[in-house]
Amino acid sequence: MSVATRYKEAGDQHYRQKSYVNAIEDYSKAIALLENQNDSNLIYICYSNRCACYLQQKKTTEALQDAQKCVQIKPDWHKGMYG
């Protein structure tokens, strides 16, 4: 399992616990690693999940930015449309 995947899964766990700040940190770390690897297979999910965290915190500007980035990477990813 890659380091980025571990960060993504940690973010998922924090999200389920409603620890959105920690989830955002983990998703951000995963995104940074995946951008350096130019890997779009997992990165759009991390953007989508971080968007959901921002929405829970009422940070709509950040959520919209992540939703747009998600759709840019994976136009057919339906969750990217929720932002």
Give the CATH number, domain containing residue 62.
1.25.40.10
pLDDT for the residue numbered 82: 53
d(C-alpha 72, C-alpha 7), whole Å: 22
Task: Read off the pLDDT of residues 29-66 as tens digits, 9 standing for 90 and up.
Answer: 999 999 878 767 899 999 999 999 999 999 999 999 99
pLDDT cut 70: percent of the chain above it: 87
Residue 78 has pLDDT above 90, yes or no: no
**DSSP 8-class letter at 78:** G
Helix and strand numbers, DSSP H then E, in the chain: 4, 0
**pTM exceeding 0.75:** yes
Domain range enclosing 24: 3-82
Q: Are 28 and 62 in contact (CB under 8 A)?
A: no
pLDDT for the residue numbered 45: 94
- Report the candidate in 24, 11, 17 with the shortest Cα–Cα distance to residue 51: 24
Total domains in the chain come to 1
